[in-house]
Structure formats: structure tokens, C-alpha cells
């Protein structure tokens, strides 16, 4: 019996110990479960924050992309609007747009907007009836533009107009599309061969100054010898037109026969003028018959060939016979200094002219050069990528921008009207501006203080900040005083001051929190009052506007003092939930009261949760005593 009792006692003792152990284990498990649940809640919150942040960034990215698309399409839309303003019909604009996109496919360094701009330039040269030729030469123009940009490293403006106009300046009558294309290809080959030292604008200006002399110049001189001449006189970004001026001066002497009277005997002695072609008038003046100068037709086609084949041998013979240099003989022949320079340059630098002619002839035509550069030149490849990306943005933005233009115009008219109205009422305008500035300052300061305190409380950084401030102590004040003498020091001091203010907010949150809440209610009431006053001021300044609705309803009672807790309304019953003094409804009261009662009964673990003091934003009405 005693053995059985002993056995029972042992079993009871073991069971008691086991139950105590199980209870401890259960307590630990429950505690661990609570911490796991809390951790899970925080992880869910972080996940929600991450998802929200990601969605926010995605939305901002989409809006940013659309903004870039609209901004990029401005030039595309502007070119189309300019075509409409120039009197082009819808059919003509449609053809121009089609040609622009087709050229962008063939010449991928060009965008549709760039092509539309070039088409407008070509239209000023070809006119309405020859736009087919303009569209056919557009790819060559855009390839040449890309080549010049690759050579010079900077954007080339007006290439379409300069190229076509330069070609037309040396052509009598109307040039066929085949002739235009051939000249454009040769010009592109020349510009590439000259390494970008001259451009299409130089050609345009030189042939423009050549005037009548330009009509008879052949392709060999224009594209093989004239480039070297332009290079000789060019300075920086201009000056090439001097070459055309010199050619015209020599044309006037050799083809037109305008020579100084004292030089005619010299021309006769050199065998360049026959005595029978010299006519003396009654006043003793000397005139030459048309074509009196030897092989004037050769000069008209190729001044370089005439200077080296006709003039150079005659000058050498005469100079050797009379012990004169080339410069002396040519100076005696021509009275115009530009003509003297031209003839001396064409003869003295003949080896240089021949060198450049071979260099130009060894290059590829415009399309071959373009394709080769596109495969090897990084600038051209990058330009192609940007041009095609711009096409995509233009397509997207063009669907948006035309709808915005009327709105922006209407809004601009409204702003102009408002500005004039405010100018007529300067005093009320000052009140509005001052009120807005004060409101902005108050909201900024209050929001930063609340966010800083809330962040410290949420992250549980209060103890850490407290230890940091206790260690730093008075050193912060010493450093701050030492730094206030310079702008960087002022910035550092401001940061330190903000940290101190944030710590103090966290430390005394139980006291300051309700005060800030009541302050916020005061700000809210103040904002409502300010907006009502602003509405009244605007209605006074702009009486024709529709009346701006007041935030406070007509007949509403004034807002209660934010520092006095409102009494429970008479119609409220125990358990009714208030949110900022407004009734939400009894339907949630049973759930809220049970939940808050359980939360309030828990000991404070240093984490954020229900405020058992009853001073939070959410209140439960109690009957008045």
C-alpha cells in the first residue's frame, strides 16, 4: 500500500512538474506566436509600402514617358501646322507626311519631324507643281546632312534648301529630277572628300556670288576644283562666297571683255587677243568684240583649265622674254585685284588642285558613304537610334498634343483676363498673396514636425536617439555655435536643430500629441476660413465668374474652439463612435469597444498601438454626468 501511495505521489509530482513545464512552454510559444504575428504584420506593412511605392514609381514613370512623348512631338506637330498655314491642302500634307516617314525608313538617321522640315524647305525651291522631285531628292539631302554632321560633329541647318538652291543657281531653266539627283550625289561625294572643311552652305554662297558666271561652269570645275578654291578663302564658318566673287570678276574681264585700256597692248603682245577684235571708238576708248579673248568658252566652262592651259604658257613666255615674274605679268593684265588673286592661285597652286581632285574622285557616292559610316561611325549610329526613338515618341505624343493645344490657348486667355482683373484690384491681390504665403509656411512646418515625430515613434528610434543625445550633450551646442559663421555651418546647425526638435517631440509625445491634434483642428478651421475669404475676394475681383461654393454651408454654426473638447451631443447614446467629433454610427461600436478594451488592458510594451488614455482621434461617446 505504501508502495502504491509512493508510486502515486511520484506520478503526481512528475505530472505537476510536467504541467508546469508545459505551461512555461505554452507561455513561450504563445509569446513567440505573438511576436511572430507582430512581425508578420510589420512584414505585411512593409510589403504594402513596397507595393505602393512600386506602383507610385510606375505611375510616375508612365506619366514621365507621356510627358516626354508630348514634348518630343511638339516639333512634329509644329511642322504639320506650318504646312497647313502655308496653304497646303490636306492631300498635299498627307503626301508630305508619307514621304517623311518613308525617308525615315531609308535614312534611319533622320526623323519624320526633320524630314517634314526639309520638305518645307524644298517646297520653296521646287514649288507646288514639282513636289515629286522634292520627294525623290529628299533621301539624298538627308544622307548628306548626316554625313556632314558626322564629319563636323555638330548639327547642320538648312541643308535641303542650300543644296537644291546651289544646284539650281548654275542651271539655266528647269533642271530635271535626274540632273538634280546626279548633282546632289556629286556634291555629297565632294563634301565627304574635303573632310567637312566646306559644307552645303558654302556651295550655295559661292555659286550665288558667281552670278552669271555660274551658268556655264561644268561639273568638273564645280565639284573637283571649286572646293579647293572655296577652302582657300574660307575663314571659320563663312567666307566661301569670295571664291564666287573672284570667278565673276574674271568672267567680266575674259568673257565680257572688260579690260583696262592700258592692258590691251599687253594682251595683244601675249597673243591672247587678235588686233582685229580690238575696236576703238571716236572718243579713243577701247572695246573688244565678243569672244575676243582666246578660248573664252573654255574659261566659261572651266576657269582652272583656261588658267593652266591658256594663260600660264602665255605668261611664262612673255615673262621670260621681258624678265618679269608671273605675278608682275598678271598684275599688268588685270586691273581687278580679285581677278589677279584668282589667276595666280589657279596657276601657282595647280598641284594642290590636282591633289584634291584625285581625293574627291576616290570617294564613294552619297549612299555608299552613308552606309559605310552607318556601320562604323558611333555618332551616326547613335543619331540613328535617337531619330527612330523620337519617331516613336512623336507618334504617341501626336495623339495627345493636338487635344492640348486648344485647352492651352483657352487657359492662356483666362490667365490673361485674371491677371488684368488682379491688376485692377492691387489691395485685395496683396491680401490673397500674403494669405497663401502664410498658409504654405504653416502647413510646411507642421507637416515636417508631424512626419518626423511619427517616423521616430514608428521605427522605435527614441531610445537610440536619447542615448545619442546624452552622449553628445553640450558638444552639440558648442559645434553649432562654432559653425554658424558660414553657410555650410548654418545648414549643419539646422539639421542638428531638427534632430533635437524631433527627439523632443518623440520624448513628450503623450503630452504634445493631443496638442498637435488640436492645433491641426485649428489649422483645418483656419484653412476653411481662409478659403472662404479667398473665395469672397475672387468673387469680388472677378464678379463675372460663377460663385465659388463656400466650404462651410450657409447657416452653419461657427467652428468650436479647437482647445475645448466638445461635449457629447444630446442625440448621442453610449457606444456611438466619434471621428473628430462626428458620428460614425453604432453599428461598429460592439466590435470597436471589445477590441479597444482588450488592447487597453495589455501592458505597454513600447510599441505603437491603441492609446488607452482616450486622447486619440477615435473616441467613444459616454453619457454626460
Q: Is the pLDDT of residue 107 over 70?
A: yes
CA 584 to chain centre: 51
The CA-atom distances, in angstroms, between 502 and each of 450, 457, 478, 506 are 9, 10, 20, 6
Bigger pLDDT: 226 vs 476: 226
The C-alpha atoms of residue 299 and residue 310 are separated, in whole angstroms, by: 9
Range 15-31 average pLDDT? 68
Centre a 10 Å sphere on the Cβ of residue 438 and count the other Cβ atoms it contains: 12
Bigger pLDDT: 385 vs 538: 385
pLDDT level of residue 608 (50, 70, 90 thresholds): very low
Range 247-271 average pLDDT? 91
pLDDT tens figures, 110-119: 999 999 999 9
What pLDDT sits at residue 63? Answer: 60
What pLDDT sits at residue 2? Answer: 64
What pLDDT sits at residue 250? Answer: 95
What pLDDT sits at residue 581? Answer: 41
What pLDDT sits at residue 365? Answer: 74
Lowest-pLDDT range of 38-47, 413-422, 518-527, 546-555: 546-555
pLDDT tens figures, 565-585: 444 444 444 444 343 344 433
pLDDT tens figures, 286-327: 778 888 999 999 999 999 999 999 999 999 999 999 999 999
The C-alpha atoms of residue 83 and residue 72 are separated, in whole angstroms, by: 18
User: For 284, left (φ over 0), alpha (ψ -120 to 50), or beta?
Assistant: left
Q: Is the pLDDT of residue 227 over 50?
A: yes
Report percent pLDDT > 90 for the chain.
Answer: 25
Range 250-264 average pLDDT? 89
Lowest-pLDDT range of 134-138, 265-269, 379-383: 379-383
Q: Is the pLDDT of residue 560 over 50?
A: no
Bigger pLDDT: 7 vs 322: 322
Lowest-pLDDT range of 201-210, 262-271, 576-585: 576-585
The C-alpha atoms of residue 185 and residue 387 are separated, in whole angstroms, by: 23
Bigger pLDDT: 482 vs 386: 386
Mean pLDDT over the full length of the chain: 74
Which among 87-91, 243-247, 544-548 has the top mean pLDDT? 243-247
* Residues 617 and 580: beta-carbon distance below 8 Å: yes
Lowest-pLDDT range of 143-157, 399-413, 486-500: 486-500
Got the DSSP string for 285-316? Answer: -EEE-TT-BTTHHHHHH-HHHHIIIIIHHHHH
The C-alpha atoms of residue 235 and residue 197 are separated, in whole angstroms, by: 10
* Residues 192 and 147: beta-carbon distance below 8 Å: yes
Neighbour-count burial of 481, counting CB atoms closer than 10 A to its CB (0-12 exposed, 13-18 middle, 19+ buried): exposed
Q: Record the cell numbers describing residue 22, joined without a space.
A: 508545459
Which among 203-217, 416-430, 601-615 has the top mean pLDDT? 203-217
Q: Which residues pair with 288 in a beta bridge?
A: 278
What pLDDT sits at residue 71? Answer: 74
pLDDT level of residue 284 (50, 70, 90 thresholds): low
Report percent pLDDT > 70 for the chain.
Answer: 58
Got the DSSP string for 59-96? Answer: HHHHHHHHHHHHHHHHHHHHHHHHHHHTT--HHHHHHH
pLDDT tens figures, 487-544: 444 444 555 555 555 556 556 666 666 666 666 666 666 656 666 665 665 565 544 4
What three-state secondary structure class fits 619? strand
Lowest-pLDDT range of 142-151, 296-305, 441-450, 539-548: 539-548
Query: Beta strands 278-280 and 286-288: pairing type?
Result: antiparallel
Residue 372 CB contacts under 8 Å (≥ 6 apart), including other chains: 364
What pLDDT sits at residue 116? Answer: 94
What pLDDT sits at residue 377? Answer: 83
What pLDDT sits at residue 548? Answer: 36
What pLDDT sits at residue 259? Answer: 87
Q: Is the pLDDT of residue 549 over 50?
A: no
Amino acid at each position: 500500500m505504501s508502495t502504491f501511495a509512493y508510486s502515486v505521489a511520484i506520478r503526481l509530482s512528475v505530472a505537476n512538474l510536467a504541467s508546469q513545464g508545459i505551461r512555461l512552454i505554452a507561455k513561450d510559444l504563445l509569446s513567440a506566436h505573438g511576436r511572430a504575428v507582430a512581425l508578420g504584420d510589420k512584414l505585411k506593412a512593409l510589403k504594402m509600402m513596397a507595393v505602393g511605392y512600386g506602383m507610385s514609381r510606375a505611375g510616375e514613370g508612365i506619366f514621365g514617358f507621356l510627358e516626354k512623348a508630348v514634348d518630343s512631338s511638339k516639333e512634329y506637330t509644329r511642322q504639320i501646322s506650318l504646312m497647313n498655314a502655308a496653304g497646303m491642302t490636306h492631300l498635299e500634307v498627307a503626301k508630305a507626311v508619307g514621304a517623311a516617314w518613308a525617308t525615315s525608313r531609308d535614312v534611319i538617321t533622320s526623323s519624320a519631324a526633320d524630314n517634314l522640315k526639309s520638305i518645307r524647305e524644298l517646297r520653296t525651291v521646287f514649288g507646288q507643281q514639282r513636289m515629286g522631285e522634292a520627294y525623290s531628292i529628299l533621301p539624298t539631302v538627308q544622307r548628306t546632312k548626316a554625313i556632314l554632321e558626322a564629319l563636323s560633329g555638330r548639327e547642320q541647318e538648312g541643308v535641303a534648301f542650300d543644296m537644291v538652291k546651289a544646284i539650281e543657281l548654275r542651271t539655266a531653266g528647269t533642271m530635271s529630277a535626274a540632273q538634280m539627283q546626279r548633282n546632289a550625289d556629286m556634291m555629297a561625294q565632294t563634301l565627304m572628300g574635303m573632310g567637312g572643311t566646306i559644307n552645303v552652305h558654302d556651295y550655295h554662297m559661292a555659286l550665288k556670288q558667281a552670278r552669271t558666271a555660274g551658268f556655264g561652269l561644268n561639273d568638273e570645275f564645280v565639284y573637283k576644283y571649286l572646293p579647293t578654291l572655296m577652302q582657300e578663302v574660307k575663314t571659320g564658318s563663312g567666307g566661301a562666297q569670295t571664291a564666287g566673287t573672284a570667278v565673276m570678276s574674271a568672267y567680266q574681264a575674259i568673257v565680257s571683255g572688260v579690260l583696262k585700256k592700258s592692258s590691251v597692248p599687253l594682251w595683244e603682245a601675249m597673243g591672247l587677243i587678235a588686233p582685229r577684235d580690238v575696236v576703238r571708238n571716236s572718243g579713243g576708248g577701247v572695246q573688244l568684240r565678243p569672244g575676243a579673248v582666246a578660248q573664252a568658252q573654255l574659261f566659261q566652262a572651266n576657269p582652272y583649265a583656261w588658267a593652266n592651259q591658256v594663260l600660264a604658257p602665255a605668261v611664262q613666255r612673255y615673262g621670260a622674254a621681258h624678265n618679269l615674274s608671273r605675278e608682275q605679268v598678271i598684275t599688268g593684265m588685270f586691273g581687278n585685284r580679285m581677278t589677279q588673286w584668282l589667276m595666280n592661285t589657279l596657276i601657282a597652286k595647280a598641284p594642290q588642285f590636282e591633289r584634291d581632285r584625285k581625293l574627291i574622285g576616290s570617294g564613294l557616292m552619297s549612299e555608299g558613304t552613308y552606309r559605310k559610316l552607318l556601320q562604323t561611325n558611333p555618332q551616326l549610329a547613335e543619331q540613328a537610334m535617337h531619330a527612330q526613338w523620337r519617331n516613336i515618341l512623336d507618334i504617341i505624343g501626336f495623339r495627345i498634343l493636338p487635344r492640348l493645344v486648344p485647352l492651352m490657348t483657352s487657359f492662356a486667355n483666362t490667365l490673361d483676363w485674371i491677371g488684368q482683373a488682379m491688376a485692377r484690384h492691387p489691395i485685395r491681390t496683396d491680401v490673397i498673396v500674403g494669405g497663401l504665403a502664410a498658409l504654405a509656411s504653416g502647413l510646411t512646418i507642421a507637416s515636417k514636425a508631424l512626419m518626423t515625430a511619427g517616423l521616430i515613434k514608428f521605427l522605435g528610434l527614441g531610445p537610440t536617439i536619447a542615448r545619442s543625445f546624452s552622449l553628445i550633450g553640450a558638444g552639440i551646442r558648442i559645434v553649432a555655435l562654432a559653425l554658424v559663421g558660414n553657410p555650410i555651418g548654418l545648414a549643419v546647425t539646422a539639421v542638428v536643430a531638427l534632430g533635437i526638435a524631433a527627439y523632443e517631440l518623440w520624448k513628450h509625445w503623450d503630452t504634445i500629441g493631443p496638442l498637435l491634434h488640436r492645433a491641426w483642428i485649428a489649422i483645418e478651421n483656419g484653412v476653411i476660413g481662409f478659403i472662404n475669404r479667398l473665395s469672397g475676394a475672387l468673387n469680388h475681383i472677378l464678379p463675372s465668374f460663377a460663385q465659388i461654393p463656400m466650404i462651410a454651408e450657409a447657416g452653419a454654426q461657427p467652428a468650436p474652439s479647437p482647445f475645448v473638447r466638445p461635449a457629447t451631443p444630446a442625440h448621442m447614446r453610449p457606444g456611438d463612435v466619434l471621428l473628430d467629433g462626428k458620428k460614425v454610427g453604432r453599428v461598429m461600436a460592439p466590435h470597436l469597444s471589445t477590441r479597444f478594451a482588450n488592447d487597453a488592458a495589455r501592458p505597454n510594451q513600447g510599441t505603437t498601438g491603441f492609446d488607452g488614455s482616450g486622447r486619440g482621434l477615435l473616441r467613444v461617446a459616454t453619457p454626460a454626468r
